Each structure stands twice: as structure tokens, then as C-alpha cells.
Chains A and B, each alone.
Chain A
Amino acid sequence: MKTPREILLARHRAAEPRLDAIRESSVAAVCNRRVSTDRTNERRSQTAATMMAIWRVLWHELILPARRTWAGLAAAWLVLLIVNFSQREPLSSTTGQPVRSPVVMMSWQIQQRWMNELLSDRSIPPEAERPRTMVPGPRTENFGPVVV
């Protein structure tokens, strides 16, 4: 007497050599995956180490010897930035455009009009109104008062 499990497994035991081969290839895939992961990690750590080395060299050769100069430059930039931001025009809450006063807008419009007038092409004279040609009709159609 056998259990169903025993029957089922015994029936497929002949496939075991091929299953062993599949298992080995799958484990080899695990190894390859591990190697590739290790390589990627190694490459990442190498890149990080190189970046750190470059930064260290820059710090020691460029920044540290003239640290007062760099600090002064940084402070000057900071002041410039603060001034720049403080002098910016406030933005309109609805359009996001800078708010302009009506006086500025009017002067800008006047300026625009002058510019248009100045830049318009004056070499060609504007076309004059042509005289209307009058063609007299036949006398039979003349219904005016008849003077005898």
C-alpha cells in the first residue's frame, strides 16, 4: 500500500537527473546575480571614494589656503543676493506678474504710441481719395422738370 504522494513522486522520479541540471543552472544564476550585485556595489563604492578624494584635494589645495578670501567672496555674494531679493517688485497674487502703477502704465502706452508713429513707413504716401467719375445716363431716363 502506498500513499498518493509516494505514487506521484515515484512516477516522476525518472525526471530527477534533468531536474538536477535545472537546479544547478538556477543556482548558477543566483551566483551570477550575486557577482553582478557585488560588482555594482563595488563600482558604486569606488565612485564614491574617488569623489571624496577629489573633494578632499580641492578642499586642501584650493579652499583651505585662501579660506579668508573664499569667506569674503561668499559674504559678498550673500549680500548681493539679499539686496537683489529685497529690491524685487512684488508679484500680483492673481496673475503672477509684477504689479505696475497706473502712472508707469500710462507713460509706457504713450511711449509705445510714439514708437509706432516714428517707426511707421512714410516713404509711400497714403492713397488719396479718387474723384468720382460721373457717367451721364440716357436723356429718356432724365425725369427732371421740363422747361418749355
Chain B
Amino acid sequence: MLAVAEREQLPVARARAGEPAAWDALFRRYQLPLYAYVFELVQDEQTSLDLVQETFIAAVRHIGSLRDDAKFGSWLFGIAHQKCIQQWRKQDRRETPADEIGDAPDAFADGPDDLLIRQEQEAEFMELLNQLPLPQRSVLLLHFVEDFSLEEIAQITGAQLGTVKSRLHFAKRSLRKILEDKNEDAA
């Protein structure tokens, strides 16, 4: 399993040239994180699989629009995010309005792995994640699953950098608070 933090060398240039083996490697690398992200947003297995396939096909078709090969991951997640939005529109489900809670701190010292969850808390963690409003959940998932930078998350979700900062900060804070409360109760 590839570590999230390290930026591995992906065969994007070869994929750009239309080499099937390169595309296979890229899809293999991203298929599970992408599916996890899409599933946690749309909450439906078949729809998530369809959206992942649509994302892959769109990536093949529009690889020419990718400017920086190093940003292939965020570009791919950006396509998937757009597909999710289209799906919500199709279902006529209105997105939860962006909850601007206030100013967030300028920098995040903590990474995606700072939050460690016990085995017995896993189900609670997932339940908690699903309780978060969609914009916060989306930002948190991108942070957890691929450790994207704030700029990359802003690019994927099409939100302002400040908005992403505040969403991530408050999502993590509320998650941590609830987990700590649960720990205290258990103790």
C-alpha cells in the first residue's frame, strides 16, 4: 500500500501518450480511494461504481486538459467531485448550504493521521462522518483519504481557500470532540 504523504512517481506522461499499461497503473492506484470518497458522498454502491467508471472514462478523454502531471490525483478527484454534484442535481437533492462558522486558523500543524481511532470506535467514526454536513464531509474525506493540500482541496471542490480551511478545521474539531467525549464516557 502506498503511503499517502509521499508523492509517488506516477506514469502520467506515458498515460498521456495513450499507453494502456500506464492507465492501468494510475487507475489501480486511485480506484479504491476514489471509490471511498464517492461512496461516502453519494451513499449508494451502484451509483458510486458508475461514477468511478465515468470518472475514469472522462480522465482518459480529457487528459489533455491536465496541466501539471504531479497534480493528477487532485485532477482525478476533481472530476469525481463534479460527477457527484451532477448526480445530486439529477436526484434533485439540494446540497446543504455551506456552513460558514467563522475564521479558521491560518495553518494546520496536524496531518490526516493525527486522529487515531480505536477498533471499537470505527463504526462510531463512520457514523459521525456521515452526520457532518456535505461540504465539511467532502473536505474531511479528501484530507483523510489522500492528504491533499488545502489548495488542492479548494481546487477539487471549487471552494475558496478560506472556506476550505474553516470547513476542515471545524469538521476535525467536532469529530475529535465527540470521540473524546465517547472515550471519557467509556472510561
Q: Interface residues, chain A, CB within 8 Å of chain B?
A: 1-5, 7-9, 11-13, 15-16, 18-20, 22-23, 25-27, 29-31, 33-34, 37
Contacts and interface: CB of A to CB of B under 8 A. Distances in A.
Given A1-B116, A3-B116, A4-B144, A23 B24 contact: yes
Nearest to B1: A9
B112 A4 contact: yes
A31 B33 CA distance: 24
Interface residues of B, number: 36
Given A2-B118, A26-B56, 6 more contacts: A4-B112, A4-B125, A8-B40, A9-B145, A19-B49, A31-B20
A15 B57 contact: no
B118 A23 contact: no
Judged by DSSP, the binding face of B is helix
B85 interface: no
B60 A29 contact: yes
Interface of B: 4, 18, 20, 23-24, 27-28, 31-33, 35-36, 39-40, 45, 48-49, 52-53, 56-57, 60, 112-113, 115-119, 122, 125-126, 141, 144-145, 147
Nearest to A1: B116
A93 to B, nearest CB: 49
B53 A15 contact: no
A3 B115 contact: yes
Contacts of B45: 15
B114 to A, nearest CB: 9
B60 A26 contact: yes
